[in-house]
C-alpha cells in the first residue's frame, strides 16, 4: 500500500511567527490540510510528523496518524531524521510518498501521475523536480554528463557552478519501502553546513548502491511553491486564489473582482450568483443560485438559498431562506435562521432567532433569542431584551404582529397573533391577539410653558445684575 509521510515538525524560523508554519492559512485553510487532502489517495495511509504542533494536529486531523518529532538542542534535526520517525509503520513492499509539509499548491492529479511514473519505472526512489527562474533557497538537482540524475545539493551547500542550476527539488519523493529503510540508517549530519540529517542524502546513498533513482520533471512550477516566509505565503495565496476563483467562474459564478474575492475551497456556490467587492466566503458555506453578494461581506459556515441579496454584512453560522435580502451593515450571528422573503435592512443584528416569511426589520434593531412568525413588522430601533444580567430568555412574536419603533420586548414575553405595539413601549407582559399595547406615560401638553420659562429666566438674570 501507499504510505504517505508529511513532514510538518520543522521550526519554520523564517516565518518569524509564534505559530507553526504548516498551520498558517491560505484562503482560510491551513497549509497542512491542503497537503493532507491532495495526498489522500486510494489504498493509502497518511502519517504526519508533528513537532510542537503535534497535539493540535492530532486534535484537528482525524484521518492521519501523527508521530512526534521532539524539537530542541539535544535532539537531531532535519528532513531525514523526521522521515526516520515513521519507519516502524512502513512495510518493505510499501510505496512511501514523502512530502514536505509546506507545499500547499500541489494537486492530487500531479501526485497520482508522479506515483504512476515511479511504479512504471520500477525505481528505488523518484524525486519530483521542476525548473525555476529564481531557484534561490531550494535544493538543486545535479545531473551527470549524460543528463541522468546524480544528486541533490542544498542551496547552502552548493558550489559556485551548482548554484546556477535551475532544476530544483520540490520536496516530494517516492521510495520503495525497503530501500528507504536501508538507506535512511546510513545518513549522517556531518556533510552539510547546517548539521542536519537530510532526506536528500538517502537518494545519493541509493544511487551509490547502484539502485535506480530518477527525477520526474513537472512543468507546472506554480504547484510547488514551498512556503518559508510570509511573503511566500501571500504569493502562494495569490496563485491559489486565481486557481480557485477561476474554477468557480467556470462553474457559472459571476465574479466582478476575482483578484480580491476570498472563497475557501470546499464552499458551494450556485450558478449566476454575482460576487463583487472584498467578499469572503468561508468554512462550510453553501450559497444558492442568482444571489448577489457584495461589498465587504463575510459569510462563514452558513447556508444561503437562491435569490438572496447581501450587501456589506457579516453572516456567521446562520441560515437564509430564498428571496431574502440583508444589509447594508447588518450582522447575522450564530443560529440566525431567516425564512423566505425576509427583509433585514440597515444595522440590524440577529442572533439565535427564527424569523418567519415576509417579516421585515428595516433599520437599527436587535433580534436576539426570539422566535418571530410571518409578516411581522419590526420597527426602527426595536430591541429584543434577552438578558437579565444572569440569564438569557426567549420571546415569541406571532404572525402579523406590528412592533412600533423604539420598543423594547423584554423576554420572556409572547406577542400573540397581530398584536400591535405602540412605538416607544417597553413590553414586559404578554400581548393578546389583535390587542394594542401602549406602555408609556401619557403625553401632556403644558400650554404657555415656554413663555413662562423665558420670564423666569429673565428675573433670575436681573437679580444677578443688581448684585
The residues of the shown chain that bind ligand UD1, judged by CB under 6 A, are 7-10, 22, 49, 69, 77-79, 81-82, 100-102, 138-139, 152, 154, 168-171, 198-200, 226, 228
Query: What are the distances in angstroms from CA 106 to CA 221, 236, 300, 453?
Result: 10, 11, 25, 80
d(CA 366, CA 112) in angstroms, rounded, equals 52
Q: Which of 170, 166, 206 is nearest to 97 (CA)?
A: 170
Query: Nearer to Ca ion by C-beta: 31 or 281?
Result: 31
CB of 218 to ligand UD1, least distance (A): 13
Cβ proximity to ligand UD1: between 6 and 336 the closer is 6
Q: Which is nearer to ligand UD1, 67 or 358 (CB)?
A: 67
Site residues for Ca ion per CB under 5 A:
102, 226
Q: Which residues contact 422 (CB under 8 A, 6 or more apart)?
A: 404, 407, 436, 437, 438, 439, 440
User: What's CA 329's distance to the chain center, in Å?
Assistant: 22
Q: Which does 168 bind (CB under 5 to 8 A by kind): ligand UD1, Ca ion, none?
A: ligand UD1
Compute the least distance from the CB of residue 95 to Ca ion, in Å. 23
Contact assessment for residue 331 and residue 352, using Cβ atoms and an 8 Å cutoff: no
Is residue 270 within 8 A of residue 303, CB to CB? The reply is no
Q: Find the shortest distance in angstroms from Cβ 119 to ligand UD1.
A: 23
Could you say which of 24, 195, 331, 363 is catalytic?
363
Minimum CB–partner distance for residue 171 and Ca ion (Å): 6
Q: Which is nearer to Ca ion, 226 or 258 (CB)?
A: 226
Between 58 and 399, whose beta carbon lies closer to ligand UD1? 58
For the bound state, the minimum distance from the C-beta of residue 72 to ligand UD1, rounded and expressed in Å, comes to 11
CB of 349 to Ca ion, least distance (A): 44
DSSP-assigned letters across all residues of 301-365: S-EE-TT-EEES-EEES-EE-TT-EE-SS-EE-TTEEE-TT-EEEEEEEEESEEE-TT-EEEEEE
Contact, 16 vs 59, CB < 8 A?
no
**Closer residue to ligand UD1 in complex, CB, 158/255:** 158
Question: What is the chain's Cα-based Rg?
Answer: 32
Place of cell 537518494: 203
- Cα separation, 182 vs 351, in Å, equals 60
d(CA 193, CA 83): 20
Helix H or strand E segment including 153:
strand 149-153
Residue 370 CA to residue 105 CA, distance in Å, equals 45
Please choose which of ligand UD1, Ca ion, none residue 348 contacts, taking the beta carbon within 5 to 8 angstroms, the exact cut-off set by kind: none
Nearer to ligand UD1, 154 or 264 (CB): 154
* CB of residue 373 to ligand UD1, shortest distance in Å: 55
Omega within 30 of 0 (cis) for the link into 328: yes
Given the C-alpha cell 440577529, which residue does it identify? 350
Any catalytic annotation for residue 363? yes
> What are the E-state strand segments in 357-450?
360-368, 370-372, 377-378, 383-385, 395-397, 402-403, 408-410, 414-415, 420-421, 426-427, 436-437
- For the bound state, the minimum distance from the C-beta of residue 115 to ligand UD1, rounded and expressed in Å, comes to 19
Nearer to ligand UD1, 78 or 258 (CB): 78
* Grid cell for residue 343: 427583509
Among Ca ion, ligand UD1, none, what does residue 82 contact (CB within 5–8 Å per kind)?
ligand UD1
Interatomic CA distance for residues 109 and 41, integer angstroms: 10
Q: 403, 397 in Cβ contact below 8 A?
A: yes
Q: Tell me which residues are annotated as active site.
A: 363
Amino acid at each position: 500500500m501507499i504510505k504517505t509521510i508529511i513532514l510538518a515538525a520543522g521550526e519554520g524560523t523564517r516565518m518569524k511567527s509564534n505559530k507553526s508554519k504548516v498551520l498558517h492559512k491560505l484562503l482560510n485553510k491551513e497549509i497542512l490540510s491542503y497537503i493532507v487532502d491532495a495526498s489522500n489517495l486510494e489504498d493509502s495511509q497518511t502519517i504526519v510528523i508533528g513537532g510542537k504542533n503535534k497535539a493540535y494536529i492530532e486534535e484537528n486531523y482525524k484521518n492521519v496518524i501523527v508521530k512526534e518529532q521532539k524539537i530542541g538542542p539535544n535532539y537531531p534535526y532535519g528532513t531525514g531524521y523526521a522521515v526516520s520517525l515513521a519507519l516502524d509503520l512502513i512495510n518493505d513492499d510499501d510505496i512511501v510518498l514523502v512530502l514536505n509539509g509546506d507545499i500547499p499548491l500541489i494537486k492530487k492529479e500531479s501526485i497520482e501521475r508522479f506515483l504512476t511514473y515511479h511504479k512504471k519505472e520500477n525505481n528505488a526512489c523518484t524525486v519530483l523536480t521542476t525548473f525555476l527562474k529564481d531557484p534561490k533557497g531550494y535544493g538543486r538537482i545535479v545531473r551527470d554528463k549524460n543528463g541522468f540524475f546524480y544528486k541533490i545539493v542544498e542551496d547552502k551547500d552548493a558550489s559556485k557552478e551548482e548554484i546556477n542550476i535551475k532544476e530544483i527539488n520540490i520536496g516530494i519523493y517516492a521510495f520503495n519501502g525497503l530501500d528507504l529503510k536501508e538507506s535512511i540508517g546510513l545518513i549522517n549530519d556531518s556533510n552539510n553546513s547546517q548539521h542536519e540529517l537530510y532526506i536528500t542524502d538517502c537518494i545519493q546513498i541509493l544511487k551509490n548502491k547502484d539502485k535506480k533513482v530518477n527525477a520526474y520533471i513537472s512543468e507546472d512550477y506554480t504547484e510547488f511553491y514551498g512556503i518559508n516566509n510570509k511573503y511566500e505565503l501571500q504569493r502562494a495565496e495569490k496563485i491559489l486564489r486565481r486557481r480557485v476563483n477561476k474554477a468557480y467562474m467556470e462553474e457559472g459564478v459571476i465574479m466582478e473582482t476575482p483578484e480580491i474575492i476570498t472563497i475557501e475551497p470546499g464552499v458551494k456556490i450556485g450558478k449566476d450568483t454575482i460576487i463583487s467587492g472584498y467578499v469572503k466566503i468561508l468554512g462550510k458555506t453553501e450559497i444558492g443560485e442568482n444571489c448577489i453578494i457584495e461589498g465587504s461581506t463575510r459569510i462563514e459556515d452558513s447556508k444561503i438559498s437562491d435569490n438572496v441579496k447581501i450587501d456589506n454584512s457579516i453572516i456567521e453560522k446562520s441560515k437564509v431562506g430564498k428571496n431574502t435580502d440583508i444589509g447594508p451593515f447588518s450582522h447575522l450571528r450564530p443560529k440566525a435562521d431567516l425564512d423566505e422573503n425576509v427583509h433585514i435592512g440597515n444595522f440590524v443584528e440577529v442572533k439565535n432567532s427564527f424569523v418567519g416569511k415576509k417579516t421585515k426589520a428595516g433599520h437599527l434593531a436587535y433580534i436576539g433569542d426570539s422566535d418571530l412568525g410571518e409578516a411581522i413588522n419590526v420597527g426602527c430601533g426595536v430591541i429584543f431584551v434577552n438578558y437579565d444580567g444572569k440569564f438569557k430568555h426567549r420571546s415569541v412574536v406571532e404572525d402579523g404582529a406590528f412592533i412600533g419603533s423604539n420598543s423594547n420586548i423584554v423576554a420572556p414575553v409572547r406577542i400573540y397573533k397581530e398584536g400591535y405595539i405602540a412605538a416607544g413601549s417597553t413590553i414586559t407582559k404578554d400581548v393578546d391577539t389583535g390587542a394594542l399595547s401602549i406602555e408609556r406615560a401619557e403625553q401632556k401638553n403644558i400650554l404657555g410653558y415656554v413663555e413662562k420659562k423665558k420670564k423666569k429666566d429673565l428675573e433670575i438674570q436681573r437679580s444677578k445684575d443688581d448684585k
